[in-house]
Structure 1
Amino acid sequence: MCRTGPSGLTRKQEVKLVMESLLCDEVWLSSPDQTAVAACFDEPQNWRRSGDKEECDEATIMCLDKELSYMPQPGYLDYLLSNNNLMHSRSKAIQWLVKSRSRLNLSFGTVFSAANYLDRFLSLNQCHGWRYWMIELLSVACVSVASKFIETSAPSLQEIQMDDLDYSFQSNTIKRMELTLLHALGWRLACVTTYSYVELLISNLDSIDSQLFDELTTRVTKLLLGSMLDIKLLKYRPSVVAVSALWCTLDDQLIPSSHSHIAYITRPFNQYQKDDVVKCHRIMKLRRVDHIDPLSKLRVLLCGRQPCYWPSSPATVLLRERIDIYDCQVDLSIFNNNIIPASGSNINLESCKKRKK
């Protein structure tokens, strides 16, 4: 007898449905408004070179209007702070996302979107039943969905799982997790992230040449990648974090009148948002001064090597064997009502054995 999910479809039918939907952008971008939004959020255009300042300002306002609807649920930061295991697992997941971008040659937009999906889904399932294998499964699904939404050619599920995971999942399991993720997010994938603002903000700076424009873009992007590891920044809007990162970068570059540049850039902000920019900038600046800048971890991920002050590794390294998680072991129905039972492991080995008999 075939088991049916909350949609009334069998598991096989749900998997087929999500695969067909993931290959059809028209399902997501059915309205002109959504098409315009998605065009802004995949990979930012070089607005400075396009020369259309008015279009850049319109895109910025569009992002500001929509960013709150793509943020994690209220109380998410407190939830992470009260759950050390989940906080650590999220940190590992974000590091894996960043490293996967380089390994799979993905766009920056893809990794920022994947991280956004991860945080939004975690915030919708606030309980203490998470296990690390569940975080890894969710991370793989986030990369897969973001890649299919943004990349011209998305990597296969096997390629996504190639390195740096403790667990290995079957394709059907990942596809079911993708469908669960899409249902939870309401199929709203054209998210506004901190990366959505990078070139929009830098394009507002006057008197900078193309070389400095590119350098600022690179530095701000790297700082924003590192900022994803700092959970205290989750309480701020993406625009606030993006402006704060640009402010830190301008300070580092010794750009004259950086304060006046920031004041000009934040003219669409209300006073509450401007106050948040000052607070967020202070946090970012202190992190770097106190040598706990998340970028120290990020450099390892981007360069693929350890900092020079780490002891060198032995010539022979024992690779940790990965644990296989079979599809029949994973029950994703726990996410249907956005509640995970406190007991929660969700691996039902007895059920799996019975089916094999």
Structure 2
Amino acid sequence: MEADIPPSAIVSGKALEKRFGDFEVVRGIDFEVQSGEVFGFLGPNGAGKSSTMRMISCVSPRSGGDLRILGMDPRDRGPYIRARIGVVPQQDNLDNELTVRENLIVYGRYFGLSRAHVADKATELMEFARLSDRANDHVESLSGGMKRRLTIARALVNDPELVLLDEPTTGLDPQARHLLWERLYQLKQAGVTLIITTHYMDEAEQLCDRLIVLDGGRILAEGTPADLIARYSSREVVELRFPADSPMDRTAFDDLAERVEALPDRFLLYSDSGERLLDRIHAAGFHPLSSLVRRSSLEDVFLRLTGRKLVD
């Protein structure tokens, strides 16, 4: 019942399931997204991220459990919910034969907005996306970063309370990614709730207030990026590389570090003080070809929880 949903929860899933025949994609997950926060879904391919996002965007019905979006059940109020949210799909689906301005105006008209309102909104959104100087250019002439900014701008034409972004910066160069981060931060400052899926761990650390790590349709961990790093990793990591013919194995470092991971090209040693650990390594008579001390990251957490096996 809607009364069971906390007032601040803009999205809530309880024992949420998605099945395709006998195949379970989402297996009874519980989560709440608070109003005004940036919430992330992280996971390898096939983890259930996109299926969950499609249920939240009211384009795929749930197979079981409970789901509330803006306090409403999408089974009963799907069209009304869709009118109040914005969706940025993983692949841009802009109309290449229309101009930048026309893409915004035509999309805005789908929501029943007046021509005058949509025209003003298009001007505002082109400025937001830094596309004002390309207003009359056809979409096919834009760079990948420009198209992505336009797709995000288009998702805002109806002034949504909630915006869903599926892999918003995949394939973009670092400059374009950082510009999009800046624009998403502006939306958060304006009070818009954002739900993001991403494969970029640095993106999740930069943008997300809270996140969940999914694998096999189940939640492995939930918390802030800092909390997850503190819970599943150490403060710092020492990376060591030895000659290819070195007989070294991970057990050589078991007494030195909190945790040791052996990769094909290097060893990862986890510790609260990387510099002190490196001193102990040298004092123990180890002489790596190269060493690097870095802070532990969300990527270390992600790989520890989901593994390093390639998932197609």
- TM bin (shorter chain): under 0.3
- Whichever structure has more helix as a proportion of its residues is 1
TM-score, length of structure 1 as denominator length: 0.23
TM-score, length of structure 2 as denominator length: 0.26
| Structure with greater contact order relative to length (CA < 8 Å, sep ≥ 6) | 1
